[in-house]
Every structure is written in structure tokens, then in C-alpha cells.
Homo-oligomer: A and B are copies of this chain.
Amino acid sequence: MNKRELKVGVVAERSGIAISAVHFYEAEGLISSSRNQSNHRVYRADVLRRIAVIKAAQNMGIGLGEIKQQLATLPDNRTPTQSDWAKLAQQWRVLLDQRIQRIERLRDSLEGCIGCGCLSMDNCPIYNQDDQLASKGTGAVLLK
């Protein structure tokens, strides 16, 4: 049973974020701590993993509000078990695969028609004659 206790300075340094950001994430409810006699925050070591996952998701363009929502399935009051993480992994797998597909679509379409309405690429008349796709949605319809 992992009982490692970390102070805020250590958490910040190992995570590569500022102490103020650790404070901020806790204020926002993304992470939590207990307090010692001197009112110093005391974190379980799994907070490092939690912050790492937060930063990875953020780096994908996901906002903190949504990240918080999605991490809510993890227990707050104890170190999450393998099975807790497996449950989260299952949910995220769907989301992450969708993101991968979206990037793949962009990567593979950058030289052709994306259904944006410009009609300036050679294959736009094939995929979007007269911008018929405008009736299907805004922006690059073929990338969604």
C-alpha cells in the first residue's frame, strides 16, 4: 500500500508545473490534498499521475472543466486501483480514438477537398459541387 506523502513544492517540481498551478487545480477541484498540523497541503503520490493525465488531455485541447468531469469517475479519497484506471481508460479510449481519426482525416485531406466551401481545389467539384455540402453544416464538413 503506497503511503507516500508529498508537499506542494515536490508535487510542482516533479510535475513540471508551478506551485500556483497546483493551488489552482485544487481550487478547481481537479486534485485534492489533506492538511498537516502546520496547515500545509499533503498529497498522496497518485496526484502526480492525475496531474500528468490532466496535462496530456489539456495538450489535446480539452478544457479543464471537461477534464474534471471525466476524471470524476476516479476516487478522490484514496489511491485509485488498477481497476479504477481501467474503467477510465475504457471511456477515454472512445474519445481518444475519435480524436485520432479526426487528426488522420485532416492529415489525409490537406491536399484535397475538405468541404469548406472554397471550391478552389481540383477535387472540389467531385466532392462538393456548387458547395452542396453547405446544407450539411458549417466549416469543413468532410473533416467532421
Contacts and interface: CB of A to CB of B under 8 A. Distances in A.
A100 B47 CA distance: 26
Interface in A47-88: 47-49, 51-53, 55-56, 58-62, 79-80, 82, 85-86, 88
A93 interface: yes
Contacts of A116: 14-15, 48-49, 51-52
A119 B116 CA distance: 47
Contacts of A138: 13-16
Given A14-B117, A52-B143, A118-B45, A60 B103 contact: yes
A52 B114 contact: yes
Interface string A22-65: 00000000000000000000000111110111011011111000
A116 B61 CA distance: 20
Interface string A95-112: 011011011101100110
A82 B49 contact: no
Interface of A: 2, 4, 13-16, 45-49, 51-53, 55-56, 58-62, 79-80, 82, 85-86, 88-89, 92-93, 96-97, 99-100, 102-104, 106-107, 110-111, 114, 116-122, 131, 134, 137-140, 143
